[in-house]
A and B are shown apart, each in its own frame.
Chain A
């Protein structure tokens, strides 16, 4: 726009000095070049820290060997994965967290969001803040808090022993199922508030008059929820599902700090196994890279399916 201003000005002057109007074009180009200067640092960083490593991981996943002595191996890493009991356990656990934790957390978050969204509810601001609070903690802190609650000498066991409910402590972390339950509990504690806020912002975009009209037509609360809230909340639901899915596919901190993957790989995740392969002894970068790609492919595939299903309904 500035160029057009100057352009006019120059056009007025031009006949007098008899020069072809080349300046405006070069000025436009110059502005565009400055525009790129704003973008290039960020673009260079994104390429260097995301796209280049992504490509490098692909190449690495086709090589095998110890530490930095890597040789081309074709698809052998990927074939090896499906005979590897630890990998299969990690895959099973990751999918288990995905299937169990996400529906529980998202339903809870949605219920809480609907409750807190009610303008007549007293203290809704306080509830919102308190329920959101865990989102500020680091996952390492969360893990230690829950570990202290559920350890053999932890708070829950002490409480149960002191009140005489049990006569001997329960080793929550030695049993695969209770250990998994604790991981799911930590994830739910940490992330429900965040998802509640996502749902709240989705709910606030729904026009109140829709509910008033439904109430006049004699719709029940449940009907209003299934016929108005759910359809209009679909974009938010899609977003929370996809972010939770990619988040769970990356799951690492909680398991690393609470169970270390045990008992007997009962809670280990794909990222935990990848970390073990790279940093827990003689590094196997090639093989670990194949796992990285499996994580990426599953996450991308699930996001794709979720988007397809989300569009259809």
Chain B
């Protein structure tokens, strides 16, 4: 837009700088706090301290920090890989083997987007509890393995996959599944990286679901560990708490910076669809 003169750019920058500071300074702040003692955090010290090692030891001594971190990594990576495989196969199937019945099924799957977590929480909890599956990775990941969002993302992407490749591969005698694994997956790498980043972030940051089904503090994930850490009966050690917050945030932050394009394209793609 070219309606206002150059003067107004000053105010635009001013507003954007203020907003950028509000959104990014807390990240700097948690990193600073995680190197300080609890007392220094309470005093509002804003310079790097030398207490990082001690804070780390305090977290390790809770006996739940390392398991929670390990769980978060294992659960998120497994869930992401399985979810992307299952959902991309479905998205591909809806386009390549299109039929009326399959279009109807896709519409029904999209409807599931309207169902809030709270509405499925109780039956799912009772089901897993009856099947003695609480505190297993199975309970953690089941609701995230096939989401309407992921299936839709891959369905949209499959539409740009050239039919000639499939025909040629069939003539060459490649089976249907081999076409999917050898032709589709390698050509669709950008969509896969978008899906992987989005799913990883969602599973890593999930809170309510693990809080309900991972009741054992040895089996739970980082966000739930954070929550337990703040309301444990002891005098809270704020340096250690902030270190835990930093450790929870860093993996997603690193992935975001490494794959920024995929992440933002994924969000944008879900709008355009």
Contact = CB atoms under 8 A, between A and B. Distances in A.
Interface stretch (A18-26, A73-81, A95-103, A155-163): A155-163
B228 to A, nearest CB: 10
Nearest to B11: A115
A70 B7 CA distance: 69
Chain A interface secondary structure, helix, strand, loop or mixed? Answer: helix
Given A49-B143, A116-B16, A250-B116, A39 B167 contact: no
Interface in B160-208: 163, 166-167, 170-171, 176-177, 180, 201, 204-205, 207-208
A158 B44 contact: yes
A257 B227 contact: yes
How many chain B residues sit at the interface, stated as a range, is: 35 or more
B107 interface: no
B248 interface: yes
Contacts of B264: 132, 197
A159 B44 contact: yes
Given A53-B120, A138-B205, A278-B122, A133 B23 contact: yes
Contacts of B90: 38-39, 41-43
A118 B151 CA distance: 34
Given A153-B42, A246-B114, A136 B4 contact: no
A61 to B, nearest CB: 9
20 contacts: A2-B171, A36-B93, A36-B97, A37-B93, A38-B96, A38-B180, A53-B123, A60-B122, A118-B12, A132-B264, A136-B255, A138-B207, A153-B42, A155-B29, A201-B272, A256-B207, A279-B212, A291-B118, A296-B114, A296-B118
Interface of B: 1-4, 9, 12-13, 15-16, 19-20, 22-24, 26-27, 29-30, 33, 41-44, 86-87, 89-90, 92-94, 96-97, 99, 102, 105, 109, 112, 114-127, 142-143, 145-148, 151, 163, 166-167, 170-171, 176-177, 180, 201, 204-205, 207-208, 212, 222-224, 226-227, 230, 238, 241-242, 245, 248-249, 252-253, 255-256, 260, 264, 267-268, 271-272
